[in-house]
Amino acid sequence: MKFTVAAATLFAGLAAARNATISGFNYNSVNGYPIISFNVDATDNSAGINCVAENFVPGQSFPCSDPSWIVTPLESQGHFLLLTQTLNSHVYEGNFTIAMNGPNSAVLDQIGDATAEMVESK
């Protein structure tokens, strides 16, 4: 009986895991003003969300097309960023590392997708 309850609790926790995937990430600073843009899909059926950060400095936050999502670039080219979602009075955060490649350091596109677990902030 104890095993059944423990297993049910474990699987309930696993079912609650929330993930978000970033795709189509682009960095451009050709004009001297950095801009990043990307799309977000999440396990809570959030899809088609677009995030843009224009003329940003690391640590500055920007709302996405769905204002419950916020992006915070953590370094100058956006390789590392924090994605935050507020859902039903709960705040979830995910740290992302974006693999990028491009013709020069001012124009970069994402290689593959980046997925991270969205963890509830305490």
- What is the per-residue pLDDT for 13? 46
- What is the per-residue pLDDT for 9? 45
The share of the chain scoring above pLDDT 90, in percent, equals 73
- What is the per-residue pLDDT for 1? 52
Give 85-104 as a 3 state SS string.
EEECCEEEEEEEECCEEEEE
Pick from 73, 36, 67: nearest CA to 52: 36
For domain 18-120, the CATH architecture is Beta Barrel (2.40)
Name the residue ranges covered by the structural domains of the chain.
18-120
Higher pLDDT, 111 or 7: 111
Pick from 107, 111, 108: nearest CA to 99: 111
- What is the per-residue pLDDT for 6? 47
Higher pLDDT, 6 or 84: 84
